[in-house]
Amino acid sequence: MKASRPARWPLLLLAASGWLALSATGLAAGSAPRVAVTVLFLLVCPGAAVLALVRPLLGPRDHSGDAMESVALTVAVSVALGMLVTAGYYMTGVFTMPRAVMTLAGITTVAALGALVMPGRRRQGGRP
């Protein structure tokens, strides 16, 4: 089977997600779209980008339950990154909300763009 190139737009969207979330903080406080976008970003995006970046290095993904594992790890890594970044800012006393969000957005962007140019990126499991 020939390895077809996967679409680029999900990673590009992921790379932009943090900045979208940051711009969503300009919406009315507590409004539904703002809550949805920010919660979704904090719980999903950084981990999804990091996983996309290291995915080619992690070996094949064809055991039963691998998709579930990816979802669980995405959330775990997102929350972990969120905790570490925000705790770092709070403990050093330099926390501001935009600063923390920009750091997380930066991590997400770098990881997602890194995943885009990562060599060996192809449809999973494409064995010759």
Partner 1 sequence: MGAIGAQRTPPDEVILVIDHNVELVAWSATEFDGVTVLAHEGTRGTAAARNRALAAARGDVVAFLDDETAPDPDWTERLLEAYADPEVVAVRSRLAIRWEAGRPNWFPNELAWVVGAPCTGAPDDGGPIDDLYGAGLSIRRETLFAAGGFPEDLDHQAGGMLAEPPAGAKTELRLRLHDLAPGAKLVQQPAATLRVRLAARRGGIGHLVSRCAAEGKSLAAVPQRAQGRAALGAHLAPIRAGLPRAVFRTLTATGPRDVEAWRALAAMLLALVATTVGYLNGRLQSTRTDEIRRTSTLTWFVARTALPVATVLWGLSLRSVDLDAMTDLGLITVMPATFWAAIVVMVAGFVALLSDKFALELWHAGYVLVLIAVLHATPALLYPTLRYSWAWKHVSVIDYLIRHGVTDPAPGPLSAYHQWPGFFSFFATMTQMAGLDDALDIASWGPLAFNIATLLPLLLLFRTVTRNRQLVWGGVWVFFSCSWVGQDYFSPQATTLVMYLTILAVMVRRFRRGPIRAGADPDGLAAEPPPITSARHRLIWATLLMMPIVAITSAHQLTPLMLVGALTALFVLRRYRNLGLLLVTAAVVAGWDVIIAWQVLESRFSDIMESLGDAGGNLSAGLIALGTASPGQVIVAYADRALSVGLWGLALCGAFVRRRWLRRPGLPLLMIGIAPLAFLAGGSYGGEIIFRVYLFALPLTALLAAALFLPARRAWVRTLVFPVVLLLMVTGFFFGNYGKEQSNYFTTDEVHLVRALHRIAPQRSLIVAPTFFLPAAYDQYERYDHIWLDELPPSREAVPNLPGHVPTLPEFVKDPSPALIDLMGAVPPGAKAYLVLNRAQLPATETAGIFPKGTIDRLIREISGSGRFRQVLGNDGGVVYELLPQTKAGKS
* Contacts with partner 1, residue ranges (CB under 8 A): 1, 21, 25, 27-31, 34-35, 38-39, 41-42, 50-51, 54, 57-66, 68-69, 71-73, 75-77, 79-84, 86-87, 89-93, 95-97, 100-101, 123-127
Please report, as a single letter, which amino acid is at residue 73.
L
Least distance (Å) between residue 41 CB and partner 1? 8
Rounded Cα–Cα distance for residues 89 and 24 (Å): 22
Residue carrying the six token digits 């070996």? 59
Q: Which is nearer to partner 1, 93 or 117 (CB)?
A: 93
Question: Cα torsion for 113, 1, 128, 9, to the nearest 10°?
Answer: 0
Task: Compare residues 86 and 109 and give the one whose CB is closer to partner 1.
Answer: 86
> Which amino acid is present at 98?
P
Q: Which residues contact 38 (CB under 8 A, 6 or more apart)?
A: 21, 24, 25
Q: Give least dist CB 77 to partner 1, A.
A: 5
Decide whether 96 or 119 has the Cβ nearer to partner 1.
Answer: 96
